[in-house]
Structure 1
Amino acid sequence: MRTNVDVHDCLGFAIKLALEAGEMIRAGQAKRFASQATTESTKSNSVDLVTEVDKAVEAFIYRRIKETFPDHAFIGEETYAGQSIPDAPTWIVDPIDGTTNFIHGYPMVATSIGLAVGGIPIVGVVYNPFLDLLYSAAKGQGAYLNGTARLPITGKPRPLATLHDALIHVDIGASRTTNVLHSRLKTFGRLAGSPDQGGKMVHSLRSIGCASLNLCLVASGGQDMHWEIGCWPWDVCAGLCILAEAGGAAFGGKNTSLCGTVNAELLAGRKYLFVRAVAPEKGETGFAVQRRLAHEFYDTTDDIEP
């Protein structure tokens, strides 16, 4: 889809906006802890939480976007009403990704601001205000950490021959039904388990509870793969742009084509597997290796519904 969106200007706007939102998040955290406020509430269940700070930050971001880009659409976590992603320029925002972490004072928290056109992320900014880590990208312009370090941080992509060599991020998720938990834990066991018992014995599994930061860690090369079930477009829109500009690959769920195409269907699909930039192997392009790893991963996992 053709668009007259200036990605350079939109990226600069999103970076400034994320930094301002970060100030609000830090101030909100300090105020909550000083007053021992307990203003969080629940969404889908008792572990799916939202705070007044989430709502205030989203309202601030929405207002700034509408002042600057009045013709652009907006989808935010705290005001989402079930609408589909339009073709028009659409800002897709998670004001505080990692709300549970925020409530507990665990610093893996981020503001995620993405811009999609035709369902394809073209600008992405993810900012962790507690660790002062700013990940940013615009289509065709590369991905960066704190504005200067180009991603991946390793420079050239490193090899990744098999799952056995991988550091993989997984998540326990918000759905806590017995069937879902059993499927997740069984999959974790297959990934981490000993090969003589049918496991892949990956280097290790990690979980930090912030999808947007996980995507950025894959983009940076610090994580090899990241598996998510149950996320929403605002969790991944910004990170998808950052990942793509860093040479990473994004795939849908277990029973999809694993073609690596990022579009509105993938963005809204709620099942994701992200793979970092990978060096070519003998007879394989980097993407062919990424796709082979995705198939190997899904051969190991159960298909879990969000």
Structure 2
Amino acid sequence: MVLTTQELKEVENTFIQLLRSEIGPLLKSYAGTNFYSYDDKSNGVDLVTALDKQIESIIKVALTAKYPSFKFIGEETYVKGVTKITNDPTFIVDPIDGTTNFIHGYPYSCTSLGLAEMGKPVVGVVFNPHLNQLFHASKGNGAFLNDQEIRVSKRPLILQKSLIALEGGSERTEGSQGNFDKKMSTYKNLLSESGAFVHGFRSAGSAAMNICYVASGMLDAYWEGGCWAWDVCAGWCILEEAGGIMAGGVRGEWDIPLDRRCYLAIRGGCEPIEQKEFAESFWNHVAGELEY
């Protein structure tokens, strides 16, 4: 089964309607001091609200009713070692990306709805209702921000002159065998005068938002390890439709699966050779392969 461009656009519009009419207002109404409960996940940084499960349930019911033959993978219903991304059309959903932001009332949380086919992202809609930012795309149909086509201005892409999204993440255990020290060393390599000496870094606290900001050209790149497919699927589609690319977070990884868990998003607005050279320059500063 291969969905047509028109069918992909119909799924995109279904996502948009669901997010604007129901999910967005619900998410916005509970942000900050209005959240009603949360439990620790792996540690005190990685938090989950009861609203996560409620939103995912609403999304699953709505989408499976309209597309009963499609599979569904959501953050809250994922089962490690059991849930797999296949070639079938599959909704890949994060009910609240940027959960810690949401709990604190910091306006960078969103809902991320993606559709993958043949293991590749083909539809993506990311809605941040706090800032009224709705990014959306489907394969072959272009990428948009609040219904205005995203056109990244043409300009050189050079690592030293770049603004990069980086995140602390929830994994904070120090030691040579962990990922935390590798990530911190990579950040030092990128920021220091003796290293890449990039212009600076930003942290939205949401993988989906970071990727969308790269897609729109506000950021030049986003590097992260530890994300899951539901964090990146929707944004990945938006990024590619806006002329950007998604590579792996470590050297030489040009064609990665959705669940690679280590990613490098690079903006458009430049030639493919510039994106390739940027990735290779970036990889020179990655301090070891992250393991998940």
Query: TM-score, normalised on structure 2?
Result: 0.93
CA distance, structure 2, for counterparts of residue 157 and residue 62 of structure 1? 39
CA distance, structure 2, for counterparts of residue 187 and residue 3 of structure 1? 40
Correspondences of 1:70-219 after superposition (within 5 Å)? 70-82=68-80, 83-148=83-148, 150-152=149-151, 154=152, 156-160=153-157, 162-179=158-175, 180-194=179-193, 198-219=194-215
One of 231, 250, 253 as aligned partner of 2:249 = 253
Shift of 1:183: 2.1
What's the counterpart of residue 8 of structure 2?
7
Residue identity opposite 2:38 in structure 1: E
Q: State whether residues 278 and 287 of structure 1, in contact with CA within 8 Å, keep that contact through their aligned partners in structure 2.
A: no
Identity of aligned residues (%): 42
CA distance, structure 2, for counterparts of residue 135 and residue 18 of structure 1? 11
Shift of 1:182: 2.4
CA distance, structure 2, for counterparts of residue 164 and residue 84 of structure 1? 38
Q: State whether residues 258 and 291 of structure 1, in contact with CA within 8 Å, keep that contact through their aligned partners in structure 2.
A: no
Residue identity opposite 1:292 in structure 2: E
Shift of 1:269: 0.3
Provide the alpha-carbon RMSD of the alignment.
1.6
CA distance, structure 2, for counterparts of residue 28 and residue 252 of structure 1? 35
Answer yes or no: is 1:289 the counterpart of 2:284.
Answer: no
CA distance, structure 1, for counterparts of residue 156 and residue 61 of structure 2? 44
Q: State whether residues 250 and 273 of structure 1, in contact with CA within 8 Å, keep that contact through their aligned partners in structure 2.
A: yes
CA distance, structure 2, for counterparts of residue 84 and residue 287 of structure 1? 31
CA distance, structure 1, for counterparts of residue 253 and residue 274 of structure 2? 12
Answer yes or no: is 1:64 the counterpart of 2:65.
Answer: no
Shift of 1:28: 2.5
What's the counterpart of residue 260 of structure 2?
269
CA distance, structure 1, for counterparts of residue 213 and residue 14 of structure 2? 23
CA distance, structure 2, for counterparts of residue 245 and residue 81 of structure 1? 30
Shift of 1:253: 2.8
CA distance, structure 2, for counterparts of residue 215 and residue 170 of structure 1? 11
Shift of 1:252: 1.1
CA distance, structure 1, for counterparts of residue 30 and residue 65 of structure 2? 24
Shift of 1:292: 1.1
Question: Where do 5+ consecutive residues of structure 1 fail to align?
Answer: 280-285
CA distance, structure 2, for counterparts of residue 110 and residue 74 of structure 1? 19
SS of 2:30's equivalent in the other structure is helix
Shift of 1:26: 1.5
